[in-house]
């Protein structure tokens, strides 16, 4: 399995900016891998030798529940104070390199495919423990407490240890669910969705969940609202609630994406 990550650098000056496929509409955004270059990277306070691409952030009138980053940490880089918001929860997914993650006093070593859920009000630190860059995806969300439920506990696993739950007998479309999907303590899920060649979402999904989809591997045709687009490794799709979506995988290798969605909470009745 492979896990895409922004390449950085600079594109050729001969490239046509109008042809990279970037779109931002009232219902979705498509941020192609070609746009994730050095000049679009951000630095973060409290982090050493680190840069990131901020792919999603809450925007009034668009997608409002989460932020999503692709983070690159240099040798000996990292942070003792990575999260400025005590009520934020996090999911980290490792694309490349070796991460030393200390959560609530417990040390974990994560490699490519590693997954970590970090609850709100939890101290954690992170450093690059390898001999090359550490690259990971970071989803942040302001935790929404539910009456009668405690926040989840920290949880560490990996893509390799998580089976795919297939959606049909043909096993052409399935989801790797890192946490129990019926656990109402969780207000977000970050999963990996896998399609084999020709696998498809057979209808235009239209529902209340906001989505962030980072393509990890393979290619597909993806329906975003009324438009079919070609997507591949490193492309990011950001969908507002109720934006229709569907997919047809087109590559010989599996088409896989890291999927964020908000779950298990009543909608707020005020804006």
Q: What is the pLDDT of residues 182-239, one digit of tens each?
A: 999 999 999 999 999 999 998 999 999 999 999 999 999 999 999 999 999 999 999 9
Give the C-alpha separation, 14 to 151, whole Å: 51
Residue 2 pLDDT > 80: yes
Reading the block at residue 119, the tokens are 């609850």
Reading the block at residue 52, the tokens are 């990131």
Q: Would you state the pLDDT for residue 14? A: 67
For the stretch 88-136, pLDDT in tens is: 999 999 999 999 999 999 999 999 999 999 999 999 999 999 999 999 9
Closest CA to 68 of 15, 140, 156, 175: 140
* Burial of 234 per CB tally in 10 Å (0-12, 13-18, 19+): buried
Question: How far lies 244's CA from each of 77, 236, 247, in Å?
Answer: 40, 16, 11
Backbone dihedral region of 34: left (phi > 0), alpha (psi from -120 to 50 degrees) or beta?
A: alpha
Contact indicator for 119, 153 with CB cutoff of 8 Å: yes
Reading the block at residue 264, the tokens are 């298990």
Residue 69 pLDDT > 80: yes
Question: How far lies 196's CA from each of 54, 162, 169, 219, 259, in Å?
Answer: 29, 17, 13, 10, 17
Contact indicator for 100, 57 with CB cutoff of 8 Å: no
Q: pLDDT-derived band of residue 1, with 50, 70 and 90 as boundaries?
A: confident
For the stretch 152-175, pLDDT in tens is: 999 999 999 999 999 878 889 999
Contact indicator for 61, 67 with CB cutoff of 8 Å: no
Q: Would you state the pLDDT for residue 16? A: 62
**How far does Cα 259 stand from its chain's mean position?**
6
Closest CA to 180 of 102, 104, 94, 263: 263
Instruction: Look at the block and give the residue holding tokens 């999904």.
Output: 205
Indicate the SS3 state at residue 185: coil
């Amino acid at each position: 399995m492979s896990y895409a990550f922004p390449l950085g650098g600079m594109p050729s000056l001969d490239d046509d900016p109008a042809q990279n496929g970037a779109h931002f509409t009232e219902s979705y955004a498509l941020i192609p891998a070609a746009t994730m270059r050095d000049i679009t990277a951000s630095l973060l306070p409290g982090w050493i030798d680190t840069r990131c691409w901020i792919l999603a952030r809450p925007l009034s009138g668009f997608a409002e529940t989460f932020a999503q980053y692709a983070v690159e940490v240099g040798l000996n880089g990292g942070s003792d104070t990575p999260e400025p918001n005590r009520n934020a929860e996090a999911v980290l997914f490792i694309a490349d390199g070796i991460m030393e993650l200390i959560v609530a006093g417990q040390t974990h070593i994560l490699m490519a495919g590693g997954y970590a859920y970090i609850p709100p009000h939890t101290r954690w630190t992170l450093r690059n423990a390898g001999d090359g860059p550490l690259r990971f995806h970071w989803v942040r969300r302001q935790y929404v407490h539910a009456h009668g439920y405690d926040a989840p506990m920290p949880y560490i696993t990996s893509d390799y240890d998580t089976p795919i739950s297939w959606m049909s007998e043909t096993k052409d479309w399935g989801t790797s669910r890192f946490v129990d999907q019926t656990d109402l303590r969780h207000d977000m899920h970050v999963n990996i969705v896998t399609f084999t060649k020709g696998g498809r979402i057979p209808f235009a999904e239209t529902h209340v969940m906001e989505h962030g989809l980072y393509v990890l591997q393979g290619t597909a045709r993806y329906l975003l609202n009324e438009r079919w687009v070609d997507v591949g490794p490193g492309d990011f799709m950001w969908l507002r609630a109720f934006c229709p979506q569907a997919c047809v995988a087109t590559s010989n290798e599996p088409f896989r994406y890291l999927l964020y969605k908000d779950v298990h909470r009543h909608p707020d009745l005020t804006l």
